[in-house]
Every structure is written in structure tokens, then in C-alpha cells.
């Protein structure tokens, strides 16, 4: 096994030794196999390389305090992947096959799951059109790969809060486009806006709706939440926002555990300047506090600039459920046996 510095994990590739590969040909998926992680060979005319026919998922495996291996709502990732496959004219994958393939790979990569409290094993399933095509048409052959990498916090500085810049001049996804699925192209177009805001000293972009540049959509790789006057709000799923599994979990925890009445609504970008707390949510981001937002050269510190009470409580509750330490009233905790 590779040597891994468990105490200094970031969100970097440190691929676990094995990966899972399945192929789709003549109208069916094969049973797949576990092979060494490494380069794959692909035709230059593969549809994914020419026309971006590809999708991915993001999940984690957790090491519990008593040494068990757990995942969080893995069937929801399977469902979301399949929704995306439909939109991109790719064959769907059986949900049980998806989850069982991850489980069998986790068993052989078990040593790469960070020790309790040091990080998690990030799971990256990808599915793409590997068959040849010259015209703009769906491929007839597809490849499904799962690889894994131990990771720490997605944002450097982790739980202290991140600084975001609202941009009207770059959009992530238009309505009726591919924003609601994890299409690989969505991330390609986010690279440049991220570069621009990084140059300005911020961690990520807050994207606005592509039609009016007025309402918050999400952060480049996470969903957005605001607490203001005791009300928790998040942008409604307009179609161009990714339906995050963490977002859904936070809404349910807010309602059932914290007794809040969360709202899914349109949030104007200038409503957030005097919010009490802001945070973003995702598999990689978990619950990351937002300490400052900037727009057009003006900076607005959120609250006292430190992580808010509800943000911290939400992080503890979510992590607690993921690690099997808090009551799991929804059946989200998934033990790999
Ligand atoms: N928004 C985008 C654009 C993402 O890439 C992700 C990550 O998957 C999320 C939101 C959060 O989704 P989830 O909570 O399912 O990880
Ligand atoms: C995740 O949170 O798993 C994501 O996919 C976001 C990002 C790393 C692209």
C-alpha cells in the first residue's frame, strides 16, 4: 500500500490501489471487474472526448469509531446518476449493481479509508460514452469506472469559514440545461470563473440564475444555505441547481431535529449581506461556513465572521449520523459488511 500522510489530507488525488470497471456494449452492461488503478485506453473519437457525454457522482466511505465502514444514502447517488444518464442519452445502471460494486471495491481498498477522525475515503463513480462517433450522437458503448481516494477537507482552512464572490458575469448553468445533473461539462465551464475569483482572493463563486442574474443558485461545488432572523432558507430546485443529497439531508434535519421550518425559495443575492449565518453543503464540502461574501468590490462579513451556532450544530448532527453516532431516523447510515 502507498504511504499516506493521514494527518495532512487535503482534497487531492491519492488513488487507492484498485478500481472497478464495467463496460456497456450491444445493449447491455457486463458484470464488471476490479483491476489495478491506472491509465485507461480510449479512442480519440470517443463521444466523451469530443462532445462531453459523461457524468460522475461523489460519495464517501467513513470509518466509524468502532472500526466499521459506512456510507451515506448511496442509493440516492445511484438514482441521481441515472437521472443524469437519461438526460445525456446514456444507459442507466442498476441501483443494486451500483451500490454493490462500490461495496466490493471498498472491501479491497479498505486500508485506504482514513482512521477515525482523520478524513474519509472519497468515492468517485464516472460513466461516459467511450464508443466512437463522428456526428453529434450518443455513443453505442459506455464505460463505468469507480475509483477512490482518501481525502480531508475540500476547502483549505476547513471549518473556519470561506470567502465567496458573487458574480453576475459568469453563469454555471441555464434553465433547461444540465445544471440539475452532474454532467462533466458543468465543471469545465466553472473552471474559469473559479480562476477569476481566486485571483481576487476568494475561495469560490456564488452563481446567480442565468436568466436574470438576481437569484442565488449555488456555490461551484456545493449548495447554499442562509439563516436569517431564525429562518433557514435555500434556493429552490429550479432545474439548474444540483439536487444535493446533503442539501436534502440538511432540510430534513432542520425540520425534524432542530424544529425549524426551512424554506426553499428564490433568494436575491443582496438579501444575504446581513444574514446571521451562511453555509454551503456537499459530500466534499460537508457543511462549510461562509464567513464573507463579496460583490462588485464590496465585502460583507457574515455575522461576526466566525462559524454560526446553527452551522456548527448542523455539522455535528450530519457528521454524527454519517458516523453512526447520532440517531438515524431516516435510514441514511449504510454499513458495509
Ligand atoms: N452542487 C454541485 C454543483 C455539486 O457538484 C455538488 C456535489 O456533488 C453539490 C452541489 C452537493 O451535492 P451532494 O450534497 O449530493 O454532494
Ligand atoms: C462532491 O461533493 O462530491 C462533488 O462532486 C463536488 C466536487 C468535488 C466536484
The string of DSSP codes covering 138-205 is: --S-EEEEEEEEEE--SSTTGGG-EEEEEESS--S--TTTTTTTTBHHHHHTTHHHHHHHHHTT-SEE
User: Closest by alpha carbon to 113, among 32, 249, 14?
Assistant: 14
Q: Which entry of 18, 60, 163, 182 is annotated as an active-site residue?
A: 182
- The pLDDT assigned to 111 comes to 97
Query: Does pLDDT of 154 surpass 80?
Result: yes
pLDDT at 284: 97
Contacts of 300 by beta carbon, 8 Å cutoff, 6+ apart: 272, 273, 274, 292, 293, 294
Give residue-wise pLDDT tens across range 72-91. 999 999 999 999 999 999 99
Q: Which atom of ligand 2 is nearest the CA belonging to 58?
A: 3
Share of the chain above pLDDT 70, in %: 100
Distance 135 CA to ligand 1 centre (A): 31
Query: What spacing in Å lies between the alpha carbon of 26 and ligand 2's midpoint?
Result: 32
51 and 180: one domain? no
Mean pLDDT, residues 234-248: 97
Q: What is the pLDDT of residues 25-53, one digit of tens each?
A: 999 999 999 999 999 999 999 999 999 99
CA of 11, closest atom in ligand 2: 8
Query: pLDDT class for 229, splitting at 50, 70, 90?
Result: very high
Give the count of alpha carbons within 13 A of 140, CB side only. 6
Over range 252-259, report the average pLDDT.
97
On whether residue 333 sits in a domain, the answer given is no
Contact residues of ligand 2, CB 6 A cut-off = 58, 221, 282-284
Q: Is residue 134 one of the residues assigned to a domain?
A: yes
Nearest ligand by distance to the CA of 322 = 1
Residue 297 contacts residue 257 (beta carbons within 8 Å): no
Exposed (0-12), middle (13-18) or buried (19+): which is 187, by Cβ within 10 Å? Answer: middle
The answer to whether 271 and 208 are in contact (CB under 8 A) is no
Q: What is the pLDDT of residues 168-188, one digit of tens each?
A: 999 999 999 999 999 999 999
Q: What local confidence, expressed as pLDDT, does residue 271 receive?
A: 97
Q: What is the pTM of this model?
A: 0.98
Answer whether residue 22 is part of any domain. Answer: yes
- Is the per-residue pLDDT at 119 higher than 80? yes
Name the grid cell of 40.
Answer: 485507461
Residue 82: the pLDDT is 98
182 is catalytic: yes
Q: Is the pLDDT of residue 148 over 90?
A: yes
Any domain includes 334: no
From the alpha carbon of 282, which atom of ligand 2 is closest?
Answer: 2
Q: Do both 86 and 105 map to the same domain?
A: yes
Q: Judge contact between 305 and 44, C-beta under 8 A.
A: no
- Structural domain range at position 93: 6-151
CB 77 within 8 A of CB 123: no
In a domain, 1, yes or no: no
With cut-offs at 50, 70 and 90, classify the pLDDT of residue 156: confident
Average pLDDT, the chain: 97
- Taking only the tens place, the pLDDT of each residue in 6-25 is 999 999 999 999 999 999 99
**Grid coordinates 454532467 are at which residue?**
183
How many Å apart are CA 317 and CA 32, to the nearest integer? 36
Type and span of the H or E element at 265: strand 263-265
Q: Quick one: pLDDT at residue 2? A: 84
Is residue 158 pLDDT above 70, yes or no? no
**How much distance in Å is there from the Cα of 135 to the middle of ligand 2?**
31
Identify the domain boundary among 151, 186, 212: 151
Q: Averaged over 123-127, what is the pLDDT? A: 98
74: CATH:
3.30.470.10
Query: Among 11, 54, 58, 319, which residue has the most ligand 1 atoms within 8 Å of its CB, making it the best to mutate?
Result: 58
Amino acid at each position: 500500500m502507498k504511504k499516506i500522510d493521514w494527518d495532512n489530507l487535503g482534497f487531492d488525488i491519492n488513488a487507492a490501489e484498485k478500481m472497478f470497471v464495467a463496460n456497456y456494449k450491444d445493449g447491455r452492461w457486463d458484470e464488471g471487474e476490479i483491476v489495478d488503478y491506472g491509465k485507461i485506453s480510449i479512442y480519440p473519437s470517443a463521444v466523451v472526448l469530443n462532445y462531453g457525454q459523461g457524468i460522475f457522482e461523489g460519495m464517501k466511505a467513513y470509518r466509524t469509531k468502532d472500526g466499521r465502514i459506512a456510507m451515506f444514502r448511496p442509493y440516492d447517488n445511484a438514482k441521481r446518476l441515472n437521472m443524469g444518464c437519461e438526460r445525456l442519452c446514456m444507459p442507466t445502471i442498476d441501483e443494486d449493481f451500483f451500490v454493490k460494486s462500490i461495496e466490493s471495491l471498498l472491501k479491497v481498498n479498505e486500508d485506504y479509508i482514513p482512521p477515525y477522525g482523520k478524513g474519509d475515503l472519497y468515492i468517485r463513480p464516472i460513466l461516459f460514452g467511450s464508443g466512437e462517433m463522428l456526428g453529434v450522437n450518443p455513443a453505442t458503448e459506455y464505460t463505468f469506472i469507480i475509483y477512490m481516494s482518501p481525502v480531508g477537507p475540500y476547502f483549505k482552512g476547513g471549518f473556519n469559514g470561506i470567502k465567496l464572490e458573487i458574480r453576475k458575469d459568469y453563469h454555471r448553468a441555464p434553465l433547461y440545461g444540465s445544471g440539475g445533473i452532474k454532467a462533466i461539462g458543468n465543471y469545465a465551464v466553472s473552471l474559469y470563473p473559479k480562476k477569476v475569483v481566486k485571483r481576487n482572493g476568494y475561495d469560490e463563486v456564488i452563481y446567480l440564475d442565468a436568466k436574470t442574474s438576481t437569484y442565488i443558485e449555488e456555490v461551484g461545488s456545493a449548495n447554499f444555505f442562509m439563516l436569517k432572523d431564525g429562518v433557514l432558507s435555500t434556493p429552490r430546485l429550479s432545474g439548474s441547481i444540483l439536487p444535493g443529497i446533503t442539501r436534502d439531508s440538511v432540510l430534513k434535519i432542520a425540520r425534524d431535529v432542530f424544529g425549524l421550518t426551512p424554506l426553499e425559495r428564490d433568494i436575491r443575492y443582496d438579501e444575504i449581506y446581513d444574514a446571521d449565518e451562511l453555509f454551503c453543503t456537499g459530500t466534499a464540502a460537508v457543511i462549510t461556513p461562509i464567513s464573507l461574501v463579496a460583490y462588485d468590490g464590496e465585502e460583507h462579513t457574515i455575522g461576526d465572521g466566525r462559524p454560526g451556532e446553527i452551522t456548527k450544530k448542523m455539522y455535528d448532527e450530519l457528521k454524527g449520523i454519517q458516523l453512526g453516532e447520532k440517531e438515524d431516523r431516516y435510514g441514511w447510515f449504510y454499513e458495509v459488511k
